[in-house]
Structure 1
Amino acid sequence: MRKCARAWSFLFSVVVWTIWESMNEKVFKDGAANVSQAEDMVCFRVAWWFKNLGKGSSDSITTLIWKIKEGCINSTITKSRKAVEWVPPPNGSFKFNVDGLTRGSPFQAGIGGVLRDHKGKVLFLFSNNIGIHDAVTTEIMSLAKACFLCLGKPELCGKIIEFVSDSMLIVSWINGRGIESIKHFQMIYDLHNQISSIDHARVVYCSRASNSFTDMLAKQGFEGGREILSWSVF
């Protein structure tokens, strides 16, 4: 990956694009600048472009992300990085951040998610358009997708998995604090049972600022229309 000029040729444009997005988030949405999340976005975009728009690669997108990070490990930016808002899970456990996005009327929806280990290594990510849904349904479906994928992966059997969403409403419903929506009752009930079937799994809330990489995956799914599913080697 270090010697691939084509992959690194994308880097300047991707960095400029990501900085522009981060500044918009800070100025127009009163968000907080987050160097670690911006770095994740740059790595994902370079990997995706290289995989889909370049000459292609036999590596998965998650493996390419890890190789890009290794290629940057000696950079001054990495060395001077300040404390990050994304907090890794305890040693030997996993954190699965998810997010959903809706736009327009009727609402077109996209979902995204990223699974990381205690070292912050990206093990899996998904991004896809799910059609027309309201915002609450979209957030529920992002969690349901993550649960479904974990249940289908034997390597995660018996592991501690923390599912993370920036929707305080959905997290409170999943954790049994009363479902106020009749429309979404069955979906929440089914999702609660699905999560309960995973040993040592729980659902927690996080701020939007610490979930920006997953937000970008949801936007990619919304805009791209094409599903992205990429596992790395455990």
Structure 2
Amino acid sequence: MKNATVASNCFWDGLQWKWTLSWARPLRVRDNQDLHNLLQLLSGVSLSPGDLDTFIWAPSKKGCFSVKSFSFELAKSEPNFPHKNFTGIWKGLVPYRVEIFVWLTLQGKLNTKDKLCHLGIIGPTTSACSLCNSTLESCQHLFLHCSIARDIWCWWLNIWHLHWCMPPSVQEAYNQWAHPKCGAFFKKGWGDEFPYSLTDIIREPKCLNWEPQRSGLHTQLIAAPKQLWLPPPPYSFKWNVDASLKPNESKSAIGGVLRNHHGEFKCLFSSPIPFMETNHAETFAIYRAVKISLGLEMVKHRKLIVESDSANAVLWCNGRSKGPWNLNFIINFIRCSMKNGNGVEIVYKSRESNMVADSMAKRGLTRSDEFIAWM
């Protein structure tokens, strides 16, 4: 609702928080629809009158704001949001201003002459390409189809002995570009071993073909493989749990996998749950795993580890942070299970070690009831 300045007069009415919003101008039809959607979102917010306010960025499992998590949220609500196509820009291989320039180009946000003409800033007679002066200057023409731009592309492609047919748009060109020699250099930027300067590269781009010499042999830098999953100690069990959300459909689900110290699957669960914020859903997944375990004779008297990729949920369950008041019941249940000699340990692990649980949680979004399988 642009240019509609809002003043809020929110208050507690007994145990219920009332949202009252007043506006500086009358709302249009579209504004009323936006206001209805806003009030629907606010209706799901539960405040605790006894707790201090804290800042938390809900879309991130760590609770901290990042541009990456923000763009992922936009991608969820807007199917056409170009997040997935443009993630390769922000690699730090070029100055930041160049990354921004490329990002604006891919979105068609540069003030090329066709755009300036459309906005009435310049006239049609001055909208020809600045390089070839033969046709209307647009992003697609300026960077791909202009005769001068085409010559530059051909020169660059010849360096790598490539033949390429120009696509109709800059976005398609970006999505198609994957150099066959793309290795650790292109992924990590210039390391300490790379012997050439930026000036050297500009003068002779073929130096990008450089590979380090190891013991007289030319070898490529290979990144160390990530450890996907570590087994628990002998005669103990490990849960990996995760949550998945579809905000545009108001759906949440949880999933988990239980394995022994040999890595053998012992139990799987996948379940839809009421729609809730990510960290809340992750806490619910931990609660469900602990509750299932208390009913298993093979697990009940053994050490149990529950791994989650939500740092906030792990902090809440371990009592190092108070946690949301509306999750008090399940958080207290988890804490009691940890104190009652059941050997329950809640730990944080990154998503790389949690892929099976992530898959189970995503499947829960399509289920109408809980699924549990015993091995």
TM range (shorter): 0.5 to 0.7
**Residue 85 of structure 1: SS of its match in structure 2?**
coil
Q: Does the alignment pair 1:189 with 2:352?
A: no
What's 2:366 paired with? 223
Instruction: Note the C-alpha offset of 1:186.
Output: 3.8
The equivalent position to 1:140 in structure 2, one of 283, 290, 314, is 283
Give me the CA root mean square deviation. Answer: 2.6
- Cα distance in 1 for residues equivalent to 2:281 and 2:341: 22
Q: Point out where structure 2 has 5 or more consecutive residues left out of the alignment.
A: 1-83, 91-224
Rg: which structure is higher?
Answer: 2
- Cα distance in 1 for residues equivalent to 2:263 and 2:240: 12
Identity of paired residues, percent?
Answer: 30
Q: Is the 8 A contact 1:106 1:132 kept in 2?
A: no
What's 1:84 paired with? 227
Q: What residue identity is the alignment partner of 1:116?
A: R
Q: Is the 8 A contact 1:110 1:127 kept in 2?
A: yes
The equivalent position to 1:177 in structure 2, one of 312, 315, 320, is 320
- Cα distance in 2 for residues equivalent to 1:83 and 1:206: 13
- Cα distance in 2 for residues equivalent to 1:180 and 1:141: 12
- Cα distance in 1 for residues equivalent to 2:253 and 2:87: 22
Return the structure number with greater relative CO, CA threshold 8 A, min gap 6: 1
**Residue 91 of structure 1: SS of its match in structure 2?**
coil
The equivalent position to 1:154 in structure 2, one of 294, 297, 304, is 297
The structure that is helix-richer by fraction is 1
Q: 1:227 to 1:87 in 2, by over 3 A?
A: same
Q: Does the alignment pair 1:204 with 2:343?
A: no
**Residue 354 of structure 2: SS of its match in structure 1?**
helix
- Cα distance in 2 for residues equivalent to 1:152 and 1:186: 19
Q: Is the 8 A contact 2:287 2:331 kept in 1?
A: no
**Residue 184 of structure 1: SS of its match in structure 2?**
helix
What's 1:166 paired with? 309
Q: Number of matched residues?
A: 157
TM-score, normalised to structure 1, is 0.60
Q: Point out where structure 1 has 5 or more consecutive residues left out of the alignment.
A: 1-24, 31-81
What's 2:188 paired with? none
Q: Is the 8 A contact 1:151 1:198 kept in 2?
A: no
Q: Deviations over 1:204-233 (max 9, x none)?
A: 01001111110110000112334221111x
Q: Is the 8 A contact 1:140 1:188 kept in 2?
A: yes
- Cα distance in 2 for residues equivalent to 1:111 and 1:104: 14
Q: 1:185 to 1:157 in 2, by over 3 A?
A: closer
